[in-house]
Amino acid sequence: MKAMKKIVCIALALLLTAALTVPALADEVDDIKKAGVLTVALSPDFSPMEFVDSTKTGQEQYVGFDVSLAQFIAGELGVALEIQAMNFDACQTAVAMDAVDLSISGYSWTESRAENFELSDYYYAGDNETEQVLLIRAADAEKYTSAEAFDGLDVGAQNASLQQMLVEEQLPGANLKIIGEIGVGVMELQAANIEALAVAKGNGEQIIANNPDLVICDWQFEVAAEYEANVVMLRKGETALLAAVNEALAKAYAAGYYGEWYDAALELAASEGALEVSVE
Ligand code: ARG
């Protein structure tokens, strides 16, 4: 009987050791380190967060605050950065489908994203998204000064964006027109195919600087504080990578890099080669 007990004890001990030595399933951080590259999806149509410097080619053409942040996170992991440029909605699909490691594309925290993705701690990119506004044609500035003024009119917003959500919630009388790329939305507005385009204010100011025929509407969206900062988007369950990203964010914040990156992005956005387009 005693011997039996002993055997059971040994068997249990062996089982326990085996369980402890099984490598943690899918530690994405290890995988990234082994591959030597961090793949990041972004939609480079959102200056100053991510845009294209048309004087450059290849990976170097992608610039902006989020690109600096992506480079920093890759550096902290000790790997190279590979940016994959695609439309904003496609970035989110790519994360969900595990086609990229993560996406950094000016994401506001939203309830539905928090449900469907892992979202990092907040990071603050200047005052880009402290206000959310409507771009309109300068000639219409007197005409559109209230939410009701847009009743029955076409208002554009980027697909799967915070701005889309804001139009749906705060301009219920308007016809929402989904735009794939912000640059296309700007052209639709200039061509009078839509009457307004919902954008982050910082982004809107960049667009106006290059398009003097457009202005920011007097009427603005009401924006809850939790939407003002940005977050990195990861696939649900990738908590090890999330922890590494949060650690990098804390380090960048403590080092005071956010302000530097934002100023550098604004400067680049004002330069010749800056384009508000993403590659097709
Ligand atoms: N912050 C807004 C959102 O979360 C807009 C982000 C747009 N980003 C971009 N790269 N186009 O939906």
With a pLDDT cut of 70, the percent of the chain lying above it is: 89
* Mean pLDDT value of segment 139-149: 96
CA distances, 59 to each of 33, 195, 232 (Å): 20, 35, 20
Q: What is the per-residue pLDDT for 278?
A: 41
* Mean pLDDT value of segment 148-154: 98
The answer for residues whose C-beta is within 8 angstroms of residue 97's C-beta and 6 or more apart is none
Task: Compute the mean pLDDT over every residue in the chain, rounded to the nearest whole number.
Answer: 91
Q: Which of 169, 149, 161 has its CA nearest to residue 221?
A: 169
Q: What is the per-residue pLDDT for 271?
A: 87
| Longest Cα–Cα distance in the chain | 95
Please determine, for residue 2, whether its predicted confidence score (pLDDT) is greater than 90: no
- All domains of the chain, ordered by start, with CATH? 2-127+227-275 (3.40.190.10), 132-222 (3.40.190.10)
Ligand 1 centroid–CA 148 distance in Å is 25
Q: How far apart are CA 220 and CA 170, in angstroms?
A: 10
Q: What is the per-residue pLDDT for 126?
A: 85
66 CA: nearest ligand 1 atom: 10
pLDDT band of residue 280 (cuts 50, 70, 90) is: very low
| Residues forming beta bridges with residue 38, ordered by sequence position | 81
* Mean pLDDT value of segment 85-97: 98
Helices (H), the chain: 2-21, 28-35, 65-77, 88-96, 111-116, 162-170, 182-190, 201-210, 239-254, 257-269
Coil/strand/helix, residue 132? strand
* Mean pLDDT value of segment 48-76: 97
Return the best residue to mutate from 66, 91, 162 for the ligand 1 pocket (most ligand atoms within 8 A of CB). Answer: 162
Return the best residue to mutate from 47, 67, 83, 88 for the ligand 1 pocket (most ligand atoms within 8 A of CB). Answer: 88
Judge whether 48 and 65 are in contact, CB under 8 Å. yes
113 CA: nearest ligand 1 atom: 4
pLDDT band of residue 273 (cuts 50, 70, 90) is: confident
Q: How would you label 215-239 residue by residue, b for 16+ Cβ within 10 Å and e otherwise?
A: bbbebebebeeebbbbbbbbbeebe
Q: What is the per-residue pLDDT for 35?
A: 96
pLDDT band of residue 279 (cuts 50, 70, 90) is: very low
Q: What is the per-residue pLDDT for 190?
A: 98
230 CA: nearest ligand 1 atom: 1
pLDDT band of residue 60 (cuts 50, 70, 90) is: very high
Q: Which of 80, 83, 104 has its CA nearest to residue 92?
A: 104
Read off φ and ψ for residue 130, nearest 5 degrees.
-70, -20
With a pLDDT cut of 90, the percent of the chain lying above it is: 85
Asked if the bond preceding 23 is cis, omega within 30° of 0, the reply is no
* Mean pLDDT value of segment 78-100: 98
Tell the residue nearest (CA) to atom 7 of ligand 1: 106
* Mean pLDDT value of segment 135-150: 97
pLDDT tens-digit map of 9-59: 555 454 545 455 444 445 899 999 999 999 999 999 999 999 999 999 999
Ligand 1 centroid–CA 55 distance in Å is 24
Q: For ligand 1, which residues put their CB under 6 angstroms from it?
A: 43, 45-46, 50, 88, 105-108, 129, 158, 161-162, 182, 200
Tell the residue nearest (CA) to atom 11 of ligand 1: 46
